[in-house]
């Protein structure tokens, strides 16, 4: 049975054809993967289905009836639910308070709470309704979003890059829930760049390229290589040469550092390491083991309770001191990486203005020419330099930040999950860029992606419960060893 049919959907934005006569079908009882390079039009298509955008052309059928979806409210009424990529809950309210909006007069009764609990349990998505949202991990927040969509009666569920914010264990939990929904006859659209996940969870896959559908395939009949070729039109071999660079001077020194988390608990408990110019120091670990707090402390954004952090010979106490020497690619790109309402030019200029100011005056023409070059060199797809950053696709926002943070060169670069949400080709470019920069820069890389850590790092510190459970040289590290250490098993080095 067909739940959704989108026929001949075309959507134009100034300067881009985001969807070009797209045909897409979702059946009952299937997980349908939606793949494509950054900017291919996946989110746009889903925004049309969810009533956020209206298509310029095309028709939508739900249960074989022609429908007009003018707003998310229309979509919800038709049984369409969406789990946003980054949870959109109110931080300062409890889970129950956040869910109260679903009920008449926003009232949450005991009976309703019971209903929520049993629904969550049924799908194996336990949530604590009394917890405050700010206390929850991103994975827990996403669970609340999934439950919210189900409470609204969604039979058609849109998940746009849902696993970006999840730990491997949370991914398993989500996939189990998706399987239960599929068995009940719901239809799920799974948008992702992670081919291994797409191959494991989906029944069919549709691939978009530059707004057009290039193929819809049975997942069982395809593989990573074919999907990559369909998406980018060529093969990509992810192999990197890490030529030895003689390490230069020490740029970052972390000395027996202790840092607290938001709840006042010890998140970092006595970490020490150094990073020299010419090396990539990788921090591996499952999310939530203190990586976030450590990085914030290094960037001067979080108080160091004990110990010292020294960048370029200066002890860091404020973000301003950090910025003098260092660049930062944060993982919360929309929140910390860009100012969404400012233009692409302004966002690029945030760190460039110093170079273009002469005696306090900024040479706008020079700045604009330089920004144009960056847009070209880093392949940032944008209608113009004046377009606001929020109009860019997720991958292009990541490129903008990479361009801004690396174009000028810096002594220290901190890259946190630098390839989250990037398509295969862009992931490849970012990794090559990091390796290229390493000649002149000390790089601190934080990633949960084991392959990435192993491919790029000269040394690897594995974080577990606020400490390094071990630090390995690249040539003594392998996936099994690092994987075990990430789970808390101390492994002899050497």
Ligand X SMILES: Nc1ncnc2c1ncn2[C@@H]1O[C@H](COP(=O)(O)OP(=O)(O)OP(=O)(O)O)[C@@H](O)[C@H]1O
Which x/- pattern over 347-386 shows residues binding ligand X (rule: CB under 6 A)? ----------------------------------x-----
In angstroms, the first-to-last Cα distance of the chain is 58
- Look at residue 54 and give its three-state secondary structure: coil
Which range binds ligand X by CB under 6 A, 167-175, 260-268, 290-298, 392-400?
Answer: 392-400
- Cβ proximity to ligand X: between 85 and 98 the closer is 85
User: Nearest distance from residue 116's CB to Mg ion, in Å?
Assistant: 29
Binding of Mg ion by 47 (CB under 5 A): no
Q: Phi and psi dihedrals of 228, rounded to 5? A: -60, -45
CA 17 to CA 27: how far, in whole Å?
27
User: What minimum distance in Å lies between the beta carbon of 313 and Mg ion?
Assistant: 42
Interacting positions 193-232 with Mg ion (CB under 5 A): none
Q: Is 36 in the site for ligand X (CB under 6 A)?
A: yes
For residue 26 the two structure tokens come to: 């979702």
Residue nearest to Mg ion (CB): 43
Give the strands of the sheet with 156-160, arranged side by side.
Answer: 80-83, 156-160, 187-191, 30-36, 204-209, 212-218
Rounded to whole angstroms, how far apart are CA atoms 419 and 398?
8
Q: How far is the CB of 138 from ligand X (least distance, A)?
A: 18
205 binds ligand X per the rule CB under 6 A: no
Nearer Cβ to Mg ion (79/162): 162
Q: How far apart, in whole angstroms, are the C-alpha atoms of residue 2 and residue 61? A: 9
In this structure, what DSSP letter does residue 161 have? Answer: S
The answer to whether residue 392 forms part of the interface with ligand X (CB under 6 A) is yes
**Applying CB under 5 A, which of residues 43, 192, 447, 457 lies at the interface with Mg ion?**
43
43 binds ligand X (CB under 6 A): yes
Residue whose pair of structure tokens reads 């001949």 in the numeric block? 8
Examine residue 460 and tell whether it contacts ligand X (CB under 6 A).
no
What binding mask, one character per residue, do residues 47-86 give for ligand X by CB under 6 A, x or -? ----------------------------------------
Q: Smallest distance, Å, CB 393 to Mg ion?
A: 5
Select 47 or 219, whichever has its Cβ closest to Mg ion: 47
Closest CA to 234 of 420, 425, 421, 381: 425
Distance CA 2, CA 47 (A): 20
- The minimum distance between CB 55 and ligand X, in angstroms, equals 13
- Neighbour-count burial for 237-272, b at 16+ CB within 10 Å, e otherwise: eeeeeeeebeeeeebbbbbebbbbbeeeebbbeebe
User: Strand, helix or coil at 447?
Assistant: coil
Q: Which two tokens stand for residue 91?
A: 């931080």
142 touches Mg ion by CB under 5 A: no
Size of the site for ligand X (CB under 6 A): 17
In the β-sheet with 250-260, what is the strand arrangement from edge to edge? 266-276, 250-260, 306-311, 314-315
CB 311 within 8 A of CB 326: yes
Q: In this complex, which beta carbon is closest to ligand X, that of residue 42 or of residue 186?
A: 42
Q: Which stretch binds Mg ion (CB under 5 A): 36-44, 274-282, 355-363, 402-410?
A: 36-44
User: Which of 33, 139, 330, 394 is in the footprint of ligand X by CB under 6 A?
Assistant: 394
Q: Which is nearer to Mg ion, 393 or 447 (CB)?
A: 393
Identify which of 454, 449, 345 has the alpha carbon closest to the alpha carbon of residue 404.
345
Q: Is 39 in the site for ligand X (CB under 6 A)?
A: yes
Min dist CB 41 to ligand X, Å, is 4
Stretch that binds Mg ion, among 3-11, 315-323, 389-397, 466-474 (CB under 5 A): 389-397
467-473 sheet: strands from edge to edge: 326-329, 412-416, 442-446, 280-284, 459-464, 467-473
Contacts to ligand X by CB under 6 A? 13, 16, 18, 36, 38-44, 381, 391-395
Interface positions with Mg ion (CB under 5 A) = 43, 394
């Amino acid at each position: 049975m067909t739940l959704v049919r989108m026929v001949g959907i075309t959507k134009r934005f100034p300067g881009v054809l985001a969807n070009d006569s797209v045909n897409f079908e979702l059946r009952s009882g299937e997980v349908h993967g939606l793949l494509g390079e950054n900017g291919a039009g996946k989110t746009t298509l889903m925004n049309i289905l969810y009533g956020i955008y209206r298509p310029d052309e095309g028709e939508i059928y739900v249960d074989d009836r022609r429908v007009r979806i003018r707003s998310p409210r229309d979509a919800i009424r038709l049984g369409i639910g969406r789990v946003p990529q980054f949870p959109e809950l109110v931080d300062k309210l409890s889970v129950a308070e956040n869910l109260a909006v679903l009920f008449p007069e926003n009232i949450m009764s005991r009976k309703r709470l019971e209903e929520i609990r049993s629904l969550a349990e049924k799908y194996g998505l336990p949530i604590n309704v009394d917890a405050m949202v700010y206390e929850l991990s991103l994975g827990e927040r996403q669970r609340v979003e999934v439950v919210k969509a189900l409470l609204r009666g969604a039979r058609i569920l849109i998940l746009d890059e849902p696993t970006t914010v999840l730990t491997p264990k949370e991914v398993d939990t989500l996939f189990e829930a998706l399987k239960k929904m599929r068995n009940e006859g719901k239809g799920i659209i799974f948008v992702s760049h992670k081919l291994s996940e797409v191959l494991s969870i989906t029944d069919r896959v549709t691939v978009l390229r530059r707004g057009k559908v290039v193929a819809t395939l049975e997942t069982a009949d395809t593989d990573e290589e074919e999907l990559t070729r369909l998406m980018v039109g060529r093969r990509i071999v992810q192999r990197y040469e890490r030529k030895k660079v003689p390490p230069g001077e020490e740029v970052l020194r972390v000395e027996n550092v202790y840092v607290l988390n938001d709840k006042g608990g010890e998140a970092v408990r006595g970490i020490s390491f150094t990073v020299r110019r010419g090396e990539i120091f990788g921090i591996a670990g499952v999310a939530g083991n203190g990586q976030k707090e450590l990085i914030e402390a290094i960037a001067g954004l979080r108080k160091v309770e004990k110990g010292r952090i020294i960048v370029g010979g200066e002890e860091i106490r404020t973000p301003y001191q950090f910025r003098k020497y260092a660049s930062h690619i944060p993982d919360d790109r929309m929140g910390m990486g860009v100012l969404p309402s400012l233009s692409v030019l302004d966002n690029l200029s945030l760190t460039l203005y110093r170079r273009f100011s002469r005696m306090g005056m900024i040479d706008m023409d020079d700045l604009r020419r330089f920004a144009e070059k960056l847009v070209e060199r880093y392949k940032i797809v944008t209608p113009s330099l004046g377009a606001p950053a929020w109009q860019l696709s997720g991958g292009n926002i990541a490129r903008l930040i990479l361009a801004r943070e690396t174009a000028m060169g810096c002594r220290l670069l901190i890259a946190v999950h630098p390839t989250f949400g990037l398509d295969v080709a862009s992931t490849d470019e970012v990794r090559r860029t990091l390796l290229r920069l390493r000649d002149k820069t000390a790089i601190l890389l934080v990633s949960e992606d084991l392959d990435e850590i192993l491919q790029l790092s000269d040394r690897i510190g594995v974080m577990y419960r606020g400490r390094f459970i071990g630090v390995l040289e690249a040539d003594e590290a392998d996936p099994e060893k690092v994987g075990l250490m990430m789970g808390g098993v101390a492994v002899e080095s050497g």
